[in-house]
Chain A
Amino acid sequence: MATRTIGEHTTVTTTGVRRKRFSESYIGEWITTTDHKQLGLMYLITGFFFFVVGGMEALLIRTQLALPDGKVLSPQVYNQIFTMHGTTMIFLFVIPVLSGFGNYVVPLMLGARDMAYPRMNAFGFWLLLLGGIFMQSSFLIGQAPNGGWFMYAPLSELVAGHAFEATPHMNADFWLLGTTLLGISSITGSLNFVVTIFKLRAPGMSINRMPLFSWMILVMSFLLLFALPSLTVASVLLLLDRHMGSHFYQYGNGGDPLLWQHLFWSFGHPEVYILILPAFGIISEILPVFSRKPIFGYTFIAWSGVAIGFLSFTVWAHHMFAVGLPSIAQAFFATSTTLIAIPTAVKIFNWLATIFQGKIRLYTPMLFALGFIAMFLIGGLNGAALAVVPFDYQITDSYFVVAHIHYVLFGGTALAVFAGIYYWFPKFTGKLMDDRLGKWHFWVTFLGLNLTFFPMHIMGILGMPRRVYTYPANLGWNDLNLMASIGALIIGVGVIMFMINFIKSLKYGQPSGDDPWDAFTLEWDTTSPPKKYNFLEIPVVRSRRPFYDKKYPEHADWKSVVEH
């Protein structure tokens, strides 16, 4: 199938008059599509929609905390808002957007006509959308999840022994069922990616010629496949506890509350790498193109991603240092956590070597990519600090951890996502995004994010716990909190600039041509936007930069570059 050539349409309707099928109407086309590109865009749009929802929740949090003794939200509502903020951003923004890029770009990069299982692909998308709506609809009945994005048992139990009510209403149920739905969605998506990547690569594209973004999507898919079951198991056990009278997490009845934490974090830590690895992939695509050099140390970047994938299953209890683990366990998890910083640092050095002495073109995607490196570096360093057990004892569950999360997830993943959007927007639409407005967007976001999240390190060290709904005025936290809230507003302005740019470019954007960045990989070796079937003839690949080879045959990589 792979090299078949799309030819003339042989079954032209003879009569010319035929009733339009449902799948050809405007709405029908959206809801019945199995095309990886359209589904990819639907993932991206959905993800971005939830980014805005989660962002508004964040602004509510920061409004409440801007001044001491804030009265904007009640304690009960505050719990729901911060829980839904984290849950939305992780499960409904980052994962969908990254899968969206994967869906759109990976088959094109591999020289394939679609994903391996197109209908399953659509199924995954709809589950995601319905799961998201399901979870957010909990606000309508005032019972949104309120136990934090990690929903610790036994507080999330209906009753936690001794007739003490923990979460008596449906709040936790929404979370448990919603994440289960999203889990099914992610499993189908991952299976699809794995099979697509293993089976549908263009002739000549051996696995070590595959673009790094596809590599990282592959690792992400394996992580999801192996990590999600423990979340699902944990959720089902908790549902049984809540509704069927079992006692898995109830100490008083012979259960074990720590079981939840172990199950959750053995999903949760791989999960955080699920959220960052495709971002690494995006960066590894953008840097070479905008530095006019091949990526430095391809093999190292690819395999350090795999190493991170394996290691990420061995570090989960670093989220649990404070529960009183045996000291041998603490030593083990501190060591493995520190180890994981090595492959991560390898990548950073490779990226720096890639741009070193390159002919750098500072367009918006590149700006975001460079911003990513700087911000992710801070996030990695304060992560390494948290891996030091005595330090973690002091700082765990404080705003320092919140700072860490956001440097890796906002400074890291979100910036990479924006980089990806600016980079692939011409592919999606055939138009360029406004570069000047894009640069404004970058600098405003960059300023806002540092103003919001840097002070959180200090708040944490000064002892401000995370997840408190307010604080008294006499603890010395006031200025820092105000700064963070102003920063959050500035990020909001940045997001609005992005939306204006997006809509404006969609309507009036400058035509980009098929290959505006003079790129290296196969997704650009077709029209922008691509036809339904992607390629008229499946390309044949002879190096890691097939499109570069085609455009510059005199300097083609396969003539000179030895691939390890």
Chain B
Amino acid sequence: MSQEQKDHVEQSVQAEESDVTAAPLNSTPSPDSAPVEKEPVAAEGTTTTEGATKRGTTGKKRTRARGRLVNAEEVMPRPSIWPLGMAFSIAFVLFGVIAGPIFLGIGVVLLLVCCLGWILERR
């Protein structure tokens, strides 16, 4: 899925034209009233993702961007190896229960290492 990661870099969005703003006036207002921190960067002519093209078909132009504009990497969880490491060490500990104290010991050490790794990982 590294293609998608490239998409993050390439995509830019017409945020001011959303289906939400196109809804009738008596619509439920979005509870999010955070101030606009960045001007929406994209205008017509820039590359848009399919989603954006589909959504921005109302024709009406609104200037007010809703919510804060962020980039995908900022909101999306980062990949991490520690979940696998942690699962492996727990499995190893339980395996040690039947395979003998040496395995158990190795498992416990692994588990501690993974706990530390998980906790100290920069998000």
Contact = CB atoms under 8 A, between A and B. Distances in A.
A24 B2 contact: yes
A208 interface: no
B55 A537 contact: yes
Contacts of B82: 119
A204 B75 contact: no
B112 interface: no
A56 interface: no
A170 interface: yes
Interface in A512-552: 514, 526-527, 531-533, 535-537, 539-540, 542, 550
A119 B2 contact: no
Interface in A343-373: none
Nearest to B96: A177
Contact of B75 (A113, A126, A526, A539): A113
Contact of A537 (B27, B67, B91): B67
Interface in B23-57: 23, 27-28, 30-32, 34, 38, 40-42, 49-52, 54-55
B75 to A, nearest CB: 6
B83 A536 contact: no
Contact of B79 (A23, A120, A123, A125): A23
B32 A539 contact: no
Contact of B30 (A29, A134, A203, A535): A203
A280 B119 CA distance: 38
Interface residues of B, number: 61
B14 to A, nearest CB: 9
Contact of B94 (A9, A29, A180, A542): A180
A528 to B, nearest CB: 10
A127 B91 contact: yes
Contacts of A207: none
Contacts of B12: 7-9
Interface stretch (A31-39, A47-55, A65-73): A31-39
Given A7-B40, A7-B41, A31-B81, A527 B11 contact: no
Contacts of A437: none
A532 B8 contact: yes
Contact of B66 (A3, A134, A243): A3
A6 interface: yes
Given A130-B87, A539-B19, A540-B30, A35 B68 contact: no
A118 B90 CA distance: 19
A9 B42 CA distance: 11
B87 A34 contact: no
Contacts of A170: 98
Given A114-B76, A536-B13, A537-B15, A5 B94 contact: no
A120 B84 CA distance: 10
B91 A181 contact: yes
A203 B90 contact: no
A9 B8 contact: yes
B59 interface: no
Nearest to B32: A3
A132 B79 CA distance: 24
A29 B2 contact: yes
Given A3-B67, A9-B8, A114 B30 contact: no
Given A527-B51, A532-B4, 14 more contacts: A4-B68, A5-B66, A5-B68, A7-B15, A7-B42, A9-B11, A9-B73, A29-B1, A32-B79, A35-B76, A126-B83, A173-B97, A204-B30, A239-B97
23 contacts: A4-B32, A4-B34, A4-B68, A4-B69, A4-B75, A7-B38, A23-B81, A34-B80, A113-B75, A114-B77, A118-B77, A120-B83, A126-B83, A126-B88, A127-B91, A177-B98, A181-B90, A181-B94, A527-B50, A531-B51, A533-B75, A536-B13, A536-B49
Interface of A: 1-12, 22-24, 28-29, 31-35, 38, 113-114, 118-123, 125-127, 129-131, 134, 170, 173-174, 177, 180-181, 184-185, 203-204, 239, 243, 514, 526-527, 531-533, 535-537, 539-540, 542, 550
